[in-house]
Structure 1
Amino acid sequence: MFFIKLCDIMEEQMFESPRREKNQMRFSFIKSLFHVVEDIGFNDNEIEAAEKKWGILPGVLKDYYKQLGKHDRINKSQNYLREPKSLYESGNYVIFYIENQGAAEWGIKIEDLCKEDPPVYCRLAADKYALETDNLMEFFNAMTLFQAASWGMTYSCEEIYMISEEQAVKIRGKYKKLPFELHQWCEMSFYANNEDEVIMLMINDDYDLLYGSEDEEHFKLIEEFIETIEKDKY
């Protein structure tokens, strides 16, 4: 009997270790962007208490809370991640992220809470919810890029710049487009040549431009390039 029990424990540990390593790799893009080397998140008890309230929570959301949930520059530079205990229901959605002035909120359908990596929906003011991203991972990557560009990084531009389509074309020609975007609240795209930097273009008549980096040299290179294009300040 003891041998059977021991085998069960060994088998559980054997499969648990690869799962844990895989979950730790989920947010490698965000961790590289902000030079995160250890978990800065909520403890298991806090996350389990929230899961008990809702019955179940998506695996990606739980892992995000545990690994990155208490990193203020990632989660509070402009918009705000709701803490596990502060998740709330709005219609048929559980809200986990809000715009800093309450103009928008992002949530998961209650019926999707059982999914590992469910779609994310956005609502503006009294509007209906609309699909923001196909999954949570895509949302967290895109929102983190927004937070990073919005003065969340160690080295950040001091102003919001206004540029034309002509100048935006120059940025697209110099920097690689990242595969994450936000569309419902604001239309924005992101660019970079290094894993710890971001340039954000936000559609606003023409474009609003913001940028930053965790690396001083990479930031200086972006600044030198930005100085070569025509731009206005707000």
Structure 2
Amino acid sequence: MNYIQKIKRLYSLSENVNYGFSENQILDLEKTLNLKLPSKLKEYYLELGKEESLNYCFNRLLKPENEIGFSDDDFLVFYEENQNVAFWGIKKDDLLQENPPVYGNYDTIEQSDWEIETQTIENFFLLMAVFNGTLGGLQFNGNYFGEIDAAIVKSVEQNYTLVSEISRENQKTYTDEFYDVISLSFDQENNCTGAFIGSSDQERFDAILDHIDIDWSYLSYDDDEASDENEDED
């Protein structure tokens, strides 16, 4: 599967439906910027760019009209963190590449330089699909902040596949054929210190809960229970 197919499967998006901006909108953007977008960036905008749950539930894709543009130091900025404290972009010199690397600017007091985020645009969009999905974009999602037993981590490693292209030493993502995702956080001593999970399939989500038997900080089921309680009060 390519990255578009992986994302569509994870979010249960139809292969026969277009979720993107129009060709004219992208052509107008290219005319405004006086350049051709990298083909993989253009592909994502055309196929998935307007899907709300994927692109606008947490961190957000910048829209073609009046949002995408160059930073003062010549990065084409196309994605922003949900509180506007971080941005992601492509070096102007890399824009001729089909699938260039993506850099992040976290604009902290100590450092505001651009740092490599992913080696390709494809990997960046897959990374953000997982990140946004586990933080609310996927129908079933949850998170836990705290130490997780090594036996639970081993169970995840044995029963799910590592997504190596978007995993790092401090954040590793696992999946079962992209019907679900598990993202585990690690400290410098390789202790697991957090988990983020998500799926569009309730049975698969419940199977993750069986594998990671902890007192979750948040589950999307919590919202359903709160809604039911509010209805009972009314």
Q: CA deviation digits over 1:92-141, x for unaligned, max 9?
A: 20111111112221100112212211111111115211111111011111
Give the unaligned 5+ runs of structure 1.
1-23
Structure 1 residue 182: deviation in Å? 6.1
Q: Is 2:209 the counterpart of 1:223? A: yes
Change (3 A) 1:233 1:33: closer
Q: Is 2:23 the counterpart of 1:40? A: no
Q: Is 2:101 the counterpart of 1:124? A: no
Q: Secondary structure at the match of 1:115?
A: coil
| TM-score normalised by the chain length of structure 2 | 0.79
Q: Percent identity?
A: 29
Change (3 A) 1:132 1:25: closer
Change (3 A) 1:182 1:191: closer
Aligned length: 206
The separation in 1 between residues aligned to 2:76 and 2:149, in whole angstroms, is 38
Change (3 A) 1:233 1:26: closer
Change (3 A) 1:39 1:25: farther
Structure 1 residue 26: deviation in Å? 5.5
Structure 1 residue 36: deviation in Å? 1.4
Aligned with 2:144 (options 135, 156, 160): 160
Give the unaligned 5+ runs of structure 2.
219-234
More helix by share: 1
Deviates more, 1:204-213 or 1:94-103: 204-213
Change (3 A) 1:232 1:152: closer
The separation in 2 between residues aligned to 1:129 and 1:233, in whole angstroms, is 32
Match of 1:133 in 2: 118
Match of 1:5 in 2: none
Structure 1 residue 187: deviation in Å? 4.4
CA RMSD of aligned residues (A): 2.4
